[in-house]
Amino acid sequence: MARPDPALLDPSRYPHSVEVPTRYADCDPNNHINNVALAAIIEDARVRFHYASGFAKALPPGGQVMIVNLTIDYLAQCYYPLPITACSGVVSASGRSLRLRHLLVQNGTPAALAEAVVVYVQDGKAAALPETVTEALAQWSCG
C-alpha cells in the first residue's frame, strides 16, 4: 500500500471531528484495537457527521442513503484506553452520490483513512441528490 497524500492526514482540513472512547472489548489478542472495531468507529463518525452537517434533516421524506463502497487504509495501530478522534468531510456531492472521507487519529498519529461512497435512494431506486442535500453539504468539504 502506498502512503496516502500527507495533506489527507491533517485533521485540520476536516470540518467535523468527534472524540470516540475506545473499549477494552475492541482489543485483539495483541492488545491493539481490532480493525473491525475501527471500521465501526468510522461508521459511527459517518452517522454523527450526517447529523452535525444537517444532511440527515435535508433528506426528503422517503429518501435514504446506502453505502455502496467503503475503503479503509489502516496506517497505524490504535491502543486501549486512549480515545480516537474521528475527522470527517465531504469529498464530492453530485449526481446520485456523495463521497465522504474519514480520518482516525489517536494520540496525534493518523491511524486510518477511509472513503465512503454513499448513494441517494428514493422509492427504492437510486436518484439524483436533492438540492436540499447538496446545499446542506456545501460548507462541509474536506477537498
Does residue 46 sit within a domain? yes
Mean pLDDT score, 43-65? 92
Go through 50-71 and write b for each residue having 16 or more CB atoms within 10 A of its CB, e for each that does not.
beebebeebbeeebebeeeebe
Go through the chain and tell me how many residues it has. 143
> Which helix or strand (DSSP H or E) is residue 133 part of?
helix 131-137
Q: Region 88-114: what's the mean pLDDT?
A: 96
Q: State yes or no: pLDDT of 62 exceeds 90.
A: no
Give the integer Cα–Cα distance in Å for 9 and 89: 12
pTM: 0.93
User: For the residues 60-71, what does the mean pLDDT come to?
Assistant: 93
Residue 6 domain flag:
no
User: What pLDDT band is residue 11 in, cutting at 50, 70 and 90?
Assistant: very high
What is the C-alpha to C-alpha distance for residues 97 and 104, in angstroms, rounded to an integer? 23
What CATH number is attached to the domain comprising 125? 3.10.129.10
Number of structural domains found in the chain: 1
